[in-house]
């Protein structure tokens, strides 16, 4: 924790709140009340914490901040998927998406029996995967734990689902293991039973495989489900599609997955973006089976969401089926991601926001050249 003045109540763990209250000369038990107001009830203004004395509320308001992203725009897809464009306190923008488990009418996500929040962990992303719009933006900055947690508060409150069971996937903008400390802090805050009490089993962290961070994750007491963005079965091809592979190769990544501690019945999800005539052949499928043969794995196929500037095509449904069948016949559990919210460009890998930095003509040109160079 820094000095009390830099403490953001939204990104504080309970013990930090307790320390802050002691500094104010207030009993530490108020920390629990504050923690509940913020994380369980989604309150964004300390003045509304009505079971605290007026003096304490005033002291909190003057000494600390409680940042909550502002909603700039919401877009509701015909299947109920809602995309939120959010503005952070420095004006940067991110996106977060709420996806109902089953398509519902455009009016009420509360009808859905389960919803998933897809959250961002960075403004942009440094990893530069060749098929990903967020990757094309480049990295602007990491999100703070307060901003990651804040997305849950905003989505939960806007949709009225904070009191329901929901799941979280860290599959919005950014690479969570490239922002390790703030991401893990956010997960600890969300998991704390004295607040929201979100079981880590309902959280999935998706990563391209930043190996040192993955090794560190393997030692965490609080462990989310793991999804690995594999996308390729050879080092050469993965070097091109997922540039971090040049540093942390496929073989090392799979070795780390073999060592990753899993409880009984747990499996690692391997995500595989399908690109027409690039990685969608029966040979690719057979290689994938071999690579995963001694790992507790399931595979999630993601037929490419096409977009301008992405120099790849989506394979036909028949090619996706053929690929899936080869995996299934050889005993792998496989699912094909139905692209949700496509009419509002809310599907994974389609999250991109224009910040002043990305919108400069020079940077646009660099991005365009980069895209052309990869095609």
Which residues carry out catalysis? Answer: 95, 348
38 contributes a contact to ligand SF4 by CB under 6 A: no
Q: Which of 292, 301, 300 is nearest to 331 (CA)?
A: 292
- Contact (Cβ atoms closer than 8 angstroms) between residue 320 and residue 105: no
Q: DSSP H helical segments within the chain, as ranges?
A: 14-24, 30-39, 54-63, 133-137, 145-159, 180-191, 211-217, 235-241, 250-259, 282-291, 317-329, 356-359, 361-374
Site string for ligand SF4, 323-362 (x = CB under 6 A): --------------------------x-------------
As measured in angstroms, the least distance from the Cβ of 121 to ligand SAH is 8
213 contributes a contact to ligand SF4 by CB under 6 A: no
208 contributes a contact to ligand SF4 by CB under 6 A: yes
As measured in angstroms, the least distance from the Cβ of 270 to ligand SF4 is 14
- Choosing from 132, 149, 159, 223, the residue that interacts with ligand SF4 (CB under 6 A) is 132
C-beta closer to ligand SF4: residue 132 or 292: 132
C-beta closer to ligand SAH: residue 208 or 346: 208
- Provide the angle, in degrees to the nearest 10, between the axes of the packed helices 14-24 and 54-63: 110
Cα 360 to the chain's mean position, in Å? Answer: 27
Q: Which of 222, 240, 228, 246 is nearest to 175 (CA)?
A: 228
CA 56 – CA 38 distance, rounded (Å):
16
C-beta closer to ligand SAH: residue 20 or 132: 132
175 contributes a contact to ligand SF4 by CB under 6 A: yes
CA 15 – CA 13 distance, rounded (Å):
6
* Buried b / exposed e along 277-313 (16+ C-beta atoms within 10 A): ebbbeeebbeebbebbeebebbbbbbbbbebeebebe
Site residue total, ligand SAH (CB under 6 A): 17
Report CA torsion sign: 321, 339, 306, 88.
Answer: negative
Specify the long-range contacts of residues 28-34, CB closer than 8 Å, at least 24 apart: 30/56, 32/194, 34/9, 34/60
Site string for ligand SAH, 206-225 (x = CB under 6 A): xxx-----------------
301 contributes a contact to ligand SAH by CB under 6 A: no
C-beta closer to ligand SF4: residue 82 or 229: 229
Which residues 86-115 are close enough to bind ligand SF4 by CB under 6 A? none
C-beta closer to ligand SAH: residue 44 or 120: 120
315 contributes a contact to ligand SAH by CB under 6 A: no
As measured in angstroms, the least distance from the Cβ of 67 to ligand SAH is 23
95 binds, among ligand SAH, ligand SF4, none (CB under 5 to 8 A by kind): none
C-beta closer to ligand SAH: residue 44 or 77: 77
273 contributes a contact to ligand SAH by CB under 6 A: yes
Site residue total, ligand SF4 (CB under 6 A): 12
Residue nearest to ligand SAH (CB): 349
Q: Supply 48's token pair.
A: 């509304």
* Buried b / exposed e along 67-79 (16+ C-beta atoms within 10 A): bbbeeeeebbbeb
Site string for ligand SAH, 167-206 (x = CB under 6 A): ----x---x------------------------------x
CA 358 – CA 130 distance, rounded (Å):
17
- Integer angstrom CA distances of residue 47 from 20, 67, 222, 319: 17, 14, 32, 57
125 contributes a contact to ligand SF4 by CB under 6 A: yes
Name the burial class of residue 41, with classes exposed (0-12), middle (13-18) and buried (19+) by CB atoms within 10 angstroms of its CB: middle
C-beta closer to ligand SAH: residue 79 or 175: 175
- What does the binding site for ligand SF4 look like in residue numbers (CB under 6 A)? 125, 127-129, 132, 134-135, 174-175, 208, 229, 349
- What does the binding site for ligand SAH look like in residue numbers (CB under 6 A)? 125, 131-132, 171, 175, 206-208, 229, 271, 273, 302, 304-305, 310, 348-349
């Amino acid at each position: 924790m820094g000095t009390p003045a830099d403490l953001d109540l939204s990104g504080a763990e309970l013990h930090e709140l307790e320390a802050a209250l002691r500094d104010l000369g207030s009993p530490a038990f108020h920390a629990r009340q504050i923690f509940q107001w913020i994380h369980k009830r989604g309150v964004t203004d300390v003045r509304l914490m009505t079971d605290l004395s007026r003096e304490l509320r005033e002291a909190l308001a003057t000494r600390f901040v409680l940042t909550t992203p502002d909603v700039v725009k919401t877009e509701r897809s015909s299947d109920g998927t809602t995309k939120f464009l959010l503005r952070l306190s420095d004006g940067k923008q991110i996106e977060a998406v709420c996806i109902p488990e089953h398509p519902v009418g455009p009016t009420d996500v509360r009808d859905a029996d389960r919803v998933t929040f897809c959250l961002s962990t960075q403004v942009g992303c440094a990893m530069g995967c060749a098929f990903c719009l967020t990757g094309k933006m480049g990295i602007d900055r990491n999100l703070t734990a307060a901003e990651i947690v804040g997305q849950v508060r905003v989505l939960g409150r806007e949709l009225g689902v904070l009191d329901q069971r929901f799941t979280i996937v860290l599959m919005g903008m950014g690479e969570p293991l490239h922002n390790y400390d703030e991401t893990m802090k956010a997960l600890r805050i969300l998991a704390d039973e004295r607040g929201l009490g979100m079981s880590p089993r309902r959280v999935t962290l998706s990563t391209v495989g930043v190996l040192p961070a993955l090794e560190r994750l393997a030692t965490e007491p609080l462990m989310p489900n793991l999804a690995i963005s594999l996308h390729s079965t050879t080092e050469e091809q993965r070097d091109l599609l997922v540039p971090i592979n040049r540093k942390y190769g496929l073989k090392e990544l799979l070795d780390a997955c073999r060592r990753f501690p899993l409880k009984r019945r747990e499996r690692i999800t391997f995500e595989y973006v399908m690109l027409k005539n690039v990685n969608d052949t029966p040979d690719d499928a057979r290689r994938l089976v071999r690579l995963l043969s001694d790992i507790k794995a399931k595979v999630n196929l993601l037929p490419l969401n096409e977009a301008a500037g992405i120099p790849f095509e989506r394979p036909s449904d028949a090619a996706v089926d053929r690929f899936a069948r080869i995996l299934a016949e050889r005993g792998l559990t496989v699912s094909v991601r139905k692209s949700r919210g496509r009419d509002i460009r809310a599907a994974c890998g389609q999250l991109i926001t224009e910040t002043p930095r990305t919108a400069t003509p020079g940077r646009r040109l660099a991005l365009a050249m980069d895209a052309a160079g990869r095609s």
